[in-house]
Amino acid sequence: MAVPYKIPTDDDREGSPKPHPDEGWLATSPHGAEQIVTQADQSLHRGLSQRHVQMIAIAGAIGTGLFLGLGGAIAKGGPLGALLGYIFVGVIVCCIQYALGEVSALMPVTGSFVRHAELLVDPAWAFAIGWNVVYGAFLGVPSEIAAAVVMIQYWTDINAAVWVTIFIIVSALVAIALIRVYGEIEFVFALLKLLLVVFVVILGLVIDLGGVPGRPRLGFHHWKEGLFVEYIASGAWGRFLGFWAVMTSAVYSFSGVESLAMASAETKNPRHNIPKACRRVFVRITIFYLAAVLVVGMLVSASDPRLQNDSGTAATSPFVIAASDAGIKAIPSVVNAICITSAWSASNQSMLAGTRTLYGLAAKGHAPKVFLRTSSWGVPYMCVAAQTAVSFLAFMCVSNSALAVFYWFLNLTAAGVLVSWIAIAFNHIRLLQALRAQRIPTTELPWHNRITYFSSWFALLSCILILLTGGFAVFTTGNWAPASFVSSYLDIPLVLCAYGLYKVTRRTKIIPLTDVPVRQALEEARNDPENVPIPKSRGWRRLNILWA
């Protein structure tokens, strides 16, 4: 039997950093091995329920990329090319979610796949992935705040600094509050976005089918103009490049679904709630995206110049274009308002991912121990303070030229999404290989699906391919752009350098499969008092398609 955890008291938590694991902070098993779920994890409060976890993932993946970015996808790939691109990426997301769910059910730790990498692959790999996530998440907050300010300027000319200040203050207050407060706020925002998606899809169908007086029925009229669009090249090769460009951008539209496990230590019954969320969230997100892509392709021609509008407001939304053409004037303001909440929601989620990953790095000695300080209600307030300080970069949007420079700088971390997905798939493959090496049946896992070994390999290879070809346009004749090349590929050498430097300085080794602590993790899962099945929904609750 594993030695029970010593739950930290408020006196243990408040105002004092926890010692490094090597100093005896982690609970140990009878054999002296460190616990997988550490006492540092237990300094955080379990305030997120099943509905919070699922809606947090939905909130992160449905944002300005859906409402404003679909127009560019249609313009590059055509109606069918865009649809196929999103279907392909949706399959990859499915594989990633299942891989993440299986590992997180066994090891529900804050920092999610970053901490998993240390246990399953190599501490140096965890260090590189962790700081890559922190870097991207820290820059994500000022980016989303700046995006929200740009959209606010659709209505008003008030100085941008006022709005930046308001968003930073509110974001910091949400981050420092109880994790349950954050969960409820994200729940409301996610619900708003889901309702808007349903609304614009239904509105699109009404417009397309001739439900607006005085407007003809469109049907698949725009599909007849061409299912694919030639991009960069001509002929079949050009149409394929258009499809590939859509698929590459779709990855970033789906980004955020991997963050639902970042706060595993703050989730109630994570060994059941996290897998359940992973299993269902990708289905809902994929359906929403595919329905939206299909409707947009029916409403707006791929050759419409308004799809390439770079105003940064609701004017770029294909739904707004279709509604405006149909004479419906209120839609732009509605879409713009929801996009603002979407941007702020994404900012909050970046704050969660950044602070919890930094906390996880500190718990393993990969970051200063000061970031282990938590408040009496279990919030890592020093991590929040650090990320809030970085958020002041959003004031760069006060100057248009500074905003352009800032967005270019932010694009340097775009490949980080794929790096995270690669890490998730590889962690899962290593877990299954360790089970085989130690002759432990996969049926011992808290949650497992037989196809995940093959699906994780598919996701791993697909993500590597997309990562390496993400900036393919710069290699074509007449399209070389140093800034685009750097923004597409700089993240790769940054991660590799972080991995190499840590490996050389700490002399770490890739963990042998026979040494991966699978048996210990299984023992902890069996002795976890919260590890109980979730009752199935009954009655009218079974009709709930959002979080049941």
Higher pLDDT, 462 or 353: 462
Query: Burial code of 264-301, b = ≥16 C-beta within 10 A, e = fewer?
Result: bbbbebbbbbbbbbbbbbbebbbebbebbbbbbbbbbb
- Structure-block tokens of residue 193: 């976005």
pLDDT of residue 466: 92
Location of structure tokens 């800032």: 406
Rounded to two decimals, the pTM is 0.82
What 3 state SS string does 145-180 have? HHHHHHHHCCCCCCCHHHHHHHHHHHHHHHHHCCHH
d(CA 65, CA 438): 44
Question: What confidence tens digit (pLDDT) does each residue in 234-254 have?
Answer: 899 999 999 998 887 788 778
Higher pLDDT, 137 or 541: 137
Q: What is the radius of gyration, based on Cα positions, of the chain?
A: 23
Per-residue pLDDT for 361 more than 70?
Answer: yes
Question: What confidence tens digit (pLDDT) does each residue in 281-291 have?
Answer: 667 777 778 88
Per-residue pLDDT band for 530 (boundaries 50, 70, 90) equals: low
Domains detected in the chain? 43-506 (1.20.1740.10)
Q: How far is residue 418 from each of residues 81, 89, 394, measured CA to CA in Å?
A: 21, 11, 25
Higher pLDDT, 480 or 273: 480
Whole-angstrom distance between the N-terminal and C-terminal Cα of the chain?
Answer: 34
Higher pLDDT, 396 or 412: 396
Per-residue pLDDT band for 410 (boundaries 50, 70, 90) equals: low
